[in-house]
Amino acid sequence: MATDPIHQFQISRLIPIEIGGLDFSFTNASAFMVATVVAAGAFLYLTTSSRGLVPGRLQSVSEMSYEFIASMLRDAAGSHGMRFFPFVFSLFMFVLVANLFGMVPYFFTVTSHIIVTFALALLVIGTVIVYGFWKHGFGFLRLFVPQGVPAVLIPLVVAIEVVSFLSRPISLSVRLFANMLAGHITLKVFAGFVTSLSALGVAGVAGAVLPLAMTVALTGLEFLVAFLQAYVFAVLTCMYLNDAIHPGH
């Protein structure tokens, strides 16, 4: 088990629940999702509760993350987009905290499961579609018809645009999931080399320095990826919301 790089992604039932033949068990994934939400919420609440005019360190971390998402959303979707700020900010904090939780040894990485990231992506794209149709009616469909295309090519272009639109939740979810999964497996494999090499005696211990250095470097890289993936997820959410707010000017 110690050297099995996949074992860390196994889901186990903590509290088995079954309703109408469906498995609603409270698993370790659910536990870490709850922990993520609680940690993110508690951090933001507690650090901003003092409301210092001159923020302390932690309060300025909270304010920075607020500013970060707010300016990103304003840039991408205009001031109309700010009504989606709670949505984008919650998504960003959830993904970020879940990714960072995954970096703690023995913790479960929620975002390394495609069903979680796909649910998040569906939420985004569902919001885009519902808001787009609610706000613009069928005018939302102009999104798929680029201007200045010859009439002959329109069916082909529209088909490609529709497929391109439908591929968005897939790429959004696959990117996050694949990066977290691949990163954690790589980390585990290199860390496994350290133990299996050092079991070979003195020469093995000397050789184990290399994978150990690699593991240290990869850990740094994984922290970078954890931030970047949350950032990319939020940026793309903003861009997609922009399409819902301003389809085809």
Partner 1 sequence: MASQEEPDDLDKRRRDLEAALAARRPAEPGGEGPGTGGKGDFANALRLSSEFIAGVLVGAGLGWFIDRIAGTSPWGLIIFLLLGFGAGILNVLRSAGLVAEFGSKAPKKGDTGPQGKN
Residues at the site binding partner 1, with contacts judged by CB under 8 A: 64-65, 67-68, 71-72, 142-144, 146-149, 153, 157, 159-161, 163-168, 170-171, 174-175, 178-179, 223-224, 227-229, 231-232, 235-236, 239, 243, 246-249
Minimal distance, residue 9 CB to partner 1, in Å:
19
Q: Rounded to an integer, what distance in angstroms lies between the CA atom of residue 78 and that of residue 189?
A: 44
Query: Among residues 191 and 222, whose Cβ is nearest to partner 1?
Result: 222
128-137: b (≥16 Cβ within 10 Å) or e: beebbeeebe
Minimal distance, residue 104 CB to partner 1, in Å:
18
Query: Among residues 186 and 198, whose Cβ is nearest to partner 1?
Result: 186
Query: Among residues 176 and 194, whose Cβ is nearest to partner 1?
Result: 176
Q: Which two tokens stand for residue 83?
A: 């009504």
Minimal distance, residue 67 CB to partner 1, in Å:
7
**CA 215 from centre of chain:** 23
Q: What is the 3-state secondary structure (H, E, C) of 122-140?
A: HHHHHHHHHHHHHHHHHHH
Q: Which two tokens stand for residue 28?
A: 């370790």
Minimal distance, residue 121 CB to partner 1, in Å:
10
